[in-house]
Structures are given as structure tokens and as C-alpha cells.
Amino acid sequence: MGKMTAAVKAGNAPDFAYTSNVSIAQLHLLDLVEDVTDVVDEAIKRYGDIMPGLNAAKTAQFDGRWKAIPLIGTTTGYYARGDKLAEKGIDPASLKTIVDRREAALAISGPDFWGWGFTPNQSGDGFGFLIATVQAFGGSFTDETGQIVKFNTPETVAAFEFLRETYDRNGKYAAMLPPGVESWNDTGNNEAYLAGQIGFTQNAFSIYAQSKRDGNPVYANTLLLQAPAAINGDSRDGGNVGGWMTVFKGAANAALAKELALNLLDPVNFSKIASLGSVLFTPAYQKLWTPELLAAEPNLATIKQAVDVKDPFLGQSWPANPNAGVDAIRAQGVLEQSVGNVISGRMSPADAVKDAHQKMVDLFEEGGIMQP
């Protein structure tokens, strides 16, 4: 974000970018990207509606205008070792919530094999796991408007207590914790899963694709699970745009950049990449989900189900629409740091939640979103 801001302000912006894990709301707020409504409208005309489960318009449409072009429609991968579950007589269909999966992770743990492959450390994977856990218990960053911080609630404290209990190296679940899981970065769970050392994790589909490409034995034993339901049973199904295309303000070749975007979406190009990429490169548009593509990999049907859901979960901003304030919380690592305070014993769950809440309030007010 800093590099793009400097480039645009210096009048030396790139024409075009593939953007992943970057806030479109912040790009828009900083006035770094061009209006690409004409491209998105043309893409929909050619390739069908954007998959409803992606929340694409809520993420990249402002005042009715698109500021990024959806390219890849995906969801989070939830993986389990099916062979280990079968050995313990555990039915994967019974693993509805994160609580269910924690018990199963403990049950399948043994010598040199640990069931729990989720890190709480500051990273993309760590953040995704932690906010999903907070939301599973009913906690959230903000209210429905996205303007008022609402982190300090009994629901969030309950989630933090769950996390304290989970990562207690002297407690009930110690046997399922891999060495060093508390400090893994974004490659930690990849390496451990591919090495056959952990039983559950969540990650982008790179783990699955790599195990297939390399002929790794874990590929045949991997179950792709749906997102765990909330503790109260509410669905958390949905997807996200895993890759956007953007045209930057002041781009010298903006027209060519837009032409390139449509060229990449052309089935002549997109379908070839999607077939080779298997679960890594899945469509954001209805008509690009062809029978041929679905036949290329059996687990693609699970992904399509998640991105095609009509009333998708909103993701990290829930219950609000995606917004720059929540994106700023993620960028600053407030959630991971607060959980770290609990796991290390520096703070109680209640004190850590209160402390994180105030940090979020400060972030919002620094950004001009004043709190009551």
C-alpha cells in the first residue's frame, strides 16, 4: 500500500496489477485506482454474473462504481486427514464447529503426529483462524454499520478463553499442539501438513495443489471440509475474490490495461490456467465454471458450492460490509497481538479483549472515524 501510494503521488504508477490480500477499500480511500466499471460490466456480459458467494460488490464497489475487477473466486480451504479420522471412527460430517474439530484433533494426536495445525501468530493464516474463532462465538470487530468498534463483549471474551485453553501447554489439549505452532508464519502449517505431521489446518489451496503436484501421500488422505459453523449453528459458508485486477490512477496505458484484464478472463486463456491450476485458480464468473473444469478435480465442487451460496457470510468485517477500518485493524495485527498476550499469560482474556478494543478505537479515530 505504501509503495503504491508513493508511486501514484510521484506520477509513476504501474498501469496494471494483480492484487491479492490487499484492501480494495483502502486503495479506493487513498484514491489510488481508476474506475473499472466498464470492464466489470463487459466481463459480466460475456461470462455471466459474478458468483454470489464472493461478496465482490461489497468489497470493491463504491457508490455504484467498481474499483477492481474480480479474477479468481475462491474460499478458505479447511483440511483434515481423513485416514486419521477413520482410524478413530470419527465421522467428518459430525465436525460442525471449531469446538468439534478441536476434540477430533486431540483424539487423532499421537507420537510425532499432532492434530491441531492452526497458528495464532501474526500472519495471514493466523489472522484468518483467529477472527473466524472470535466470530464463531458471536464476537466481532464492529457493529452492523462498520463504524463503531464493538470488540469488548462477553462473546469475544468467551472466544479468547477458548483460545487460552486450546494453547495451554500444560492443559488438556497440549498433546495436540505441534512444536512451535504459536510462532508459525504463513509457511508453518503448509510445511507441517505436507510433512504428514498435522491433522487439521486451514489455508489457501496451495497445500492441496502442491500435494497433488508432488504425488505426496497426504493428497489422497486429505478431506476438504466446509467452513465450520458458528457455535450457535449459523452457517459461515461463503467465499471471496482471491485475486483482483486493478488499474492505477494516472496509468499511462489505462486502455491497454483494461484490454489485458478482459483478455485474461477470456476462456481461451482463463480455462487453460484454471485446468492446470486445479483448486488454485477458480472462476469468479458463472459461465467460466464449465463441466470440463469441474471434472478436472473432484474437490472443485466443494469450492463452487461455497462461492455460489446466495446469502454468504461477510468474512472478517461481519456483521458489517467490508470496510477500510476493519482492514486497518488487520494490517496492524491487533487481534494476533491480543491473543498472544493471553497465550503467554501476560493478560487475562477479559483484559486482553479490553486492551485490544481500545487499540481499535484509537485506530478508527486516527482514521477520522470518531467513536461514541
Is the pTM for the entire model greater than 0.85?
no
Average pLDDT for residues 72-88, to the nearest whole number? 94
The structural domains of the chain, with segments of one domain joined by +, span 2-75+241-311
CA 78, 244, 209, 206: dihedral to nearest 10 degrees? -60
Other CB atoms within 10 A of residue 45 CB: 8
Look at residue 362 in the predicted model and tell me its pLDDT: 97
* Residue 16 buriedness (CB in 10 A; 0-12 / 13-18 / 19+): buried
Q: pLDDT tens digits, residue range 105-116?
A: 999 999 999 999
The predicted-structure confidence for 289-317, as pLDDT tens digits, reads as follows 999 999 888 778 888 988 999 888 988 99
Condensed to tens digits (0 to 9), the pLDDT of residues 4-52 reads 999 999 999 999 999 887 889 999 999 999 999 999 999 999 999 999 9
Alpha-carbon dihedral sign for residues 15, 21, 25, 27:
negative
Mean pLDDT of 95-100: 97
- pLDDT for position 173: 98
Rounded to 5 degrees, φ, ψ at 195 are -85, 0
> What's residue 330's pLDDT?
93
What's the pLDDT score for residue 60? Answer: 96
- Give the residue among 119, 278, 134 at the shortest CA–CA distance from 202: 119
- Does residue 73 have a pLDDT over 90? yes
Superfamily of domain 2-75+241-311: Periplasmic binding protein-like II (3.40.190.10)
Cell of 288: 467460466
pLDDT in the model for residue 54 = 94
Do β-strands 114-116 and 198-203 pair in parallel, antiparallel, or remain unpaired? parallel
- pLDDT at position 20, please? 84
Q: Rounded mean pLDDT of 327-351?
A: 96
